[in-house]
Amino acid sequence: MFSLLTSARRIAVLCVPLLGSSLAHAQDYPARPIRLIVGSSAGGGGDGVARVMAAKLTLTLKQQMVVDNRPGAAGNIGAEMVARAAPDGYTLLFAYTGHVINPALFKKLPFDPLRDFAPVGMIAFNNSALVVHPSVPAHSAKELIALAKAQPGKLTMGALVGGAQHLATELFKTQAGVDIIYVPYKGNGPANNDLLAGQINIMFNTLALVAPLARAGRLRALAVASEKRSELMPELPTVSETAIKDFSAQGWYGILAPAATPRTIIGKLNGELNAVLREADTQQRIKAMGNEIAIRTPEAFDAWIRAEMLKWAEVARRAGIRQE
């Protein structure tokens, strides 16, 4: 009994310096600039959100947060850099939807999207809308499904190959039980141009782009792909409301750190991130880009990532999307 108590005391004594070191890390952090890796080119929608957050966190953390764009391989180049970085809170990943889609599209990734990262927190949802060319005789998602079932193999939907809109297209086709032809594109911009020209019939596209085109009558928006209505177009119902129960294809943005980053640092970053997201100015700027604020604890963000990864893997499998 004495031996067991002695051993327990020794373990406790050994743990005290470790705990003290962890707390010291949090108290001193950050002591130098932080690099926020963005796996896409400068100027895109995600990059804009990243720069808003970096500027805001620079003020609250009292250290410069520098946006470092590392585009390529559908975001995997930037993600690998963070996965291999020192777990000290000074290299972070601005993550987005591709982080949970890519495991279903690539046979082998140079990192593990779950094991090699520690979720810090979410930033926003980037919602899409189901839209059709005005010549399509459907004014709701329910009517579109009925039309597709009446004309199997005749309607077309386009999107960037392997992108979030492509997976949303396949999810819609599967859950609606319709035969709609998917037309692959090298980008969503060319797909949208063909939709405007009537070369394809249907598309999922970001709400920020859809809203002005729909209000100008150049496209007809049928529903949003999110779980709830968007503040950007509150008059637009969700797909789930009108046609397919529990349908959800939400894009998102968040921040990840390398695995093994001290929990005290993760907690500090999450607290500062969420405080910034509650500021009216931040919300206004993020929403102006067509996004919806999403505040999460690291644990809730981790659960979201895991659920989304399973979901999109199943969508890719059912659609027969080949891995690269």
Average pLDDT (302-317) is 95
The terminus-to-terminus CA distance of the chain in angstroms comes to: 59
pLDDT digit string, tens, across residues 118-128:
999 999 999 99
Burial 279-294 (b: 16+ CB within 10 A, else e): eeebbebbbebbbbbb
Bridge pairing between strands 34-38 and 91-96: parallel
pLDDT digit string, tens, across residues 49-67:
999 999 999 999 999 999 9
Enclosing domain of residue 142: 128-242
pLDDT digit string, tens, across residues 95-124:
999 999 999 999 899 999 999 999 999 999
CATH of the domain at 269: 3.40.190.150
Bridge pairing between strands 291-293 and 181-185: unpaired
In a domain, 1, yes or no: no
pLDDT score of 4 more than 90: no
Assess whether 135 and 283 both reside in one domain.
no
What total number of domains does the chain contain? 2
Residue at a domain's end among 196, 217, 242: 242
Residue at a domain's end among 215, 242, 269: 242
In a domain, 90, yes or no: yes
Assess whether 235 and 134 both reside in one domain.
yes
pLDDT digit string, tens, across residues 143-157:
999 999 999 999 999
Assess whether 165 and 115 both reside in one domain.
no
In a domain, 13, yes or no: no
In a domain, 258, yes or no: yes
CA neighbor of 115 nearest in space, from 309, 289, 293: 309
Residue at a domain's end among 207, 242, 277: 242
In a domain, 23, yes or no: no
pLDDT score of 159 more than 70: yes
In a domain, 149, yes or no: yes
State how far the Cα of 38 lies from the Cα of 123, in Å rounded to an integer. 14
Assess whether 122 and 142 both reside in one domain.
no
Assess whether 122 and 135 both reside in one domain.
no
For residue 148, is it left (φ>0), alpha (ψ between -120 and 50) or beta?
Answer: alpha
Assess whether 198 and 147 both reside in one domain.
yes
Assess whether 94 and 117 both reside in one domain.
yes
Assess whether 104 and 156 both reside in one domain.
no
pLDDT at 25: 57
CATH of the domain at 153: 3.40.190.10
Highest mean predicted confidence (pLDDT) among 52-56, 227-231, 313-317: 52-56
Assess whether 270 and 237 both reside in one domain.
no
pLDDT at 319: 87
pLDDT score of 248 more than 70: yes
pLDDT at 14: 53
Assess whether 110 and 134 both reside in one domain.
no
pLDDT at 273: 98
Residue type, 243: A
pLDDT score of 321 more than 90: no
Assess whether 116 and 163 both reside in one domain.
no
Assess whether 217 and 80 both reside in one domain.
no
Largest CA distance in the chain: 85
In a domain, 3, yes or no: no
In a domain, 21, yes or no: no
